Chains A and B, each alone.
Chain A
Amino acid sequence: MNALGRSRAELLLELADDELILGWRNSEWTGIAPFLEEDVAFSSIAQNEIGHARALYELAARDLGTDADSLAFDRTLDDYRCAPLVELRRLEWARTIARHWLYETSDAIRLDALKASSDPEVVGLAAKMDREEIYHRMHAEMWLERLLATDEGRRRVEEGVRELWPYALGVLDDELRHRFQAIVRERLPFELPDVEPVPRGHHEAELEELLGEMTVVRRSAPAGAQW
């Protein structure tokens, strides 16, 4: 058990599930992003997130005596530990950017905490992920700035952030959440209410649908199929 009160594998699965499900959601923009350049960039971010998930599952799988694919695809709905924020299906660009920015802001705080942990494998992986996440944060920040620069963009981002706010608060544990709230309130030009977080452990209806689609190939192939 670590300082956060759960085993290393449990902690890794939370993070891996966040990255996998968000990567999946972000990949839903492939082919339909606002313009071609962004399509490529956002798809690449989605791929990176799924790559992070794989590395995290591999580490967790060693602790649990299984393998990464089994963790990613073979668990039941209730076993997934992702935050409801990443499960939501909001195929609207301002909401996507709002979630992207809120998630990356949380993730930066979480990675900092992991980089300061006493487990060298976790520290190494967190540092490796962070070297890519820097670019995700730059991407999220430049989009936020761009949307906030116009009246319509600002209105849409504000709507999106307000809608996602309770979910965003559910990504981090209590002690880290305060830092997240402070950073968000400092950055955004509108007030956000004190609300109860939507915590991990409960799932949005959209997750079941996503898992069904995500595992369809896995379920159709005989066990042990090699790709």
Chain B
Amino acid sequence: MIFEVFRQERKGQAFMHGGSFHAPNREFADAYAREFYARRGESVALWVVPREEIVEIDEFPDEFDLKYRRVDGYSIKARLKEARERAGTLQG
């Protein structure tokens, strides 16, 4: 089995993906995770998850190009410039 490990470096911080390793079962995974991700005091907590238990989603259809829903949104620079020209407030 492959296990994925998420490490927390300090209390209160988000867990970040640390890496993965092979182990025959959860008991071995517990032992190995301690060795690989916490022995040097580099983590305060670990999440050790069998890879097959992780739901991976990597397809996000956006057929109608609804840009305004994306985090980068759409550029308003040009339109802002036009609006400022009309209002006579364009600087520089």
Q: Is the CB of B32 within 8 A of A40?
A: yes
Does B53 belong to the interface (CB within 8 Å)?
no
Q: Is the CB of B27 within 8 A of A142?
A: yes
Which residues of B have CB within 8 Å of A135?
31, 34
Q: Is the CB of B31 within 8 A of A138?
A: yes
Which residues of A have CB within 8 Å of B32?
37-38, 40-41
Give the complex CA separation of A146 and B21 in angstroms. 18
Q: Is the CB of B31 within 8 A of A41?
A: yes
Give the complex CA separation of A121 and B36 in angstroms. 32
Q: Is the CB of B22 within 8 A of A37?
A: yes
Q: Is the CB of A44 within 8 A of B35?
A: yes
Which of B22, B28, B34 has the most chain A CB atoms inside 10 A of its CB?
Answer: B28
Contacting A at CB under 8 A, from B6-33, are 21-25, 27-28, 30-32
Number of interface residues of A (CB under 8 A): 13
Known contacts A44-B35, A135-B34; is A37 also within 8 Å of B21 by CB? yes
* A42 CB, min distance to chain B CBs, angstroms: 9
Q: When each residue 127-141 of chain A gets 1 if its CB lies under 8 Å from chain B and 0 otherwise, what string results? A: 000000001001100
Which residues of A have CB within 8 Å of B30?
138
Contacting A at CB under 8 A, from B39-57, are 39
Interface residues on B, range: 10 to 19
What is the number of contacts between chain A and chain B, taking CB atoms within 8 Å?
32
Q: Is the CB of B36 within 8 A of A142?
A: no
Give the complex CA separation of A145 and B35 in angstroms. 20
Which residues of A have CB within 8 Å of B23?
37
Which of B22, B25, B31 has the most chain A CB atoms inside 10 A of its CB?
Answer: B31
**Which one of B21, B22, B25, B27 lies within 8 Å of A138 (CB-CB)?**
B27
* B35 CB, min distance to chain A CBs, angstroms: 5
**Which one of A35, A40, A138, A145 lies within 8 Å of B36 (CB-CB)?**
A40
Give the complex CA separation of A44 and B34 in angstroms. 11
Contacting B at CB under 8 A, from A110-157, are 135, 138-139, 142, 145-146
Which residues of A have CB within 8 Å of B35?
37, 40-41, 44
Known: A37-B21, A40-B36, A142-B31. 8 other contacts (CB 8 A): A35-B22, A37-B28, A38-B32, A41-B35, A44-B35, A138-B30, A145-B27, A146-B25
Enumerate the 8 nearest inter-chain pairs by beta-carbon distance, A residue then B residue, closest first. Answer: A142-B27, A37-B32, A41-B35, A37-B21, A44-B35, A139-B31, A40-B35, A41-B32
11 residue pairs bridging A and B, Cβ less than 8 Å apart: A35-B22, A37-B32, A37-B35, A38-B32, A40-B32, A40-B36, A41-B35, A44-B39, A142-B27, A145-B27, A146-B24
